[in-house]
Amino acid sequence: MKAFSFLLVLVLAAVTACGSVGEGTEPEAGPTVEQDTPSARGQTFESDVELARELTEAYWKQTFSAAGLTYRPVTAFTAYQGENGPDCGGQPSVPNNAFYCPVGHFIAYDEQWMNGLYERMGDGSVYVIIPHEFGHAVQAQLNTAFRLSIEKELQADCYAGGTLGALVKGGSLQTEPGDEDELLINLAAAGDPTDDWLRPDAHGTAGQRQELFAKGYNQGTTAC
């Protein structure tokens, strides 16, 4: 598999299955990269992680600039193993997780856990998780306020979908038949078992996460 890819028709089908989000518009064009990417680098877990990080930050740098703002890259993008991750404001990292830390403005991820998802469910896991965490970094830079955790998490899903939609449209990521199930599988696997909006760690059900991702993909990050 050369790079994460999925078909727009599948994402549109997800919107139909999970509830209408209104008329879709073309996502904004994303940044393009040199011809050695993504096909030359998006072939292994390590290269997909590198590519997802690079393209996501390039997209947000371009998007902030177009709005007259300055995007601030994360200070670190750190892989860890199990319980050996960096703490965030005095809170220890936990296994099987990826997170954005506003204290220090960095992203960290359990490498073994994410690699396991990559092996079991395809490279789509990398291109869902990493743009999602960068979505939280964007929220912090925009000083976005939320009443509930789930609102923050679903907007990050929307940002992730908008980012990937722009990258596909801009040609930085290639679509490839046969990978279309990966996106929905990864989002479904990360969904909450119940629709409890008041849980402090709520992220949204599988259907909600798929719907918000699809909204971003179809309408762009400005719709999030």
Tokens of 137: 């970094």
Taking 80 as the threshold, does the pLDDT of residue 79 lie above it? Answer: yes
Range of the domain at 60: 8-223
Residue-level pLDDT at 135: 98
Within a domain: 51: yes
Average pLDDT for residues 130-154, to the nearest whole number? 94
Tokens 């993909």 correspond to what residue? 217
Higher pLDDT, 135 or 192: 135
What integer best gives the mean pLDDT of the chain?
Answer: 79
| Residue 179 near residue 124, CB atoms below 8 Å | yes
**By percentage, how much of the chain surpasses pLDDT 70?**
71
In the chain, the number of structural domains is 1
Chain Cα centroid distance, residue 26: 19
Average pLDDT for residues 46-75, to the nearest whole number? 96
Tokens of 181: 């199930």
Within a domain: 176: yes
In angstroms, the Cα distances linking 87 to 81, 94, 101, 102, 135 are 13, 9, 9, 11, 20
Task: Band the pLDDT of 157: cuts 50, 70, 90.
Answer: very high
Residue 122 — left, alpha, or beta (φ > 0 → left; ψ -120 to 50 → alpha)?
A: left
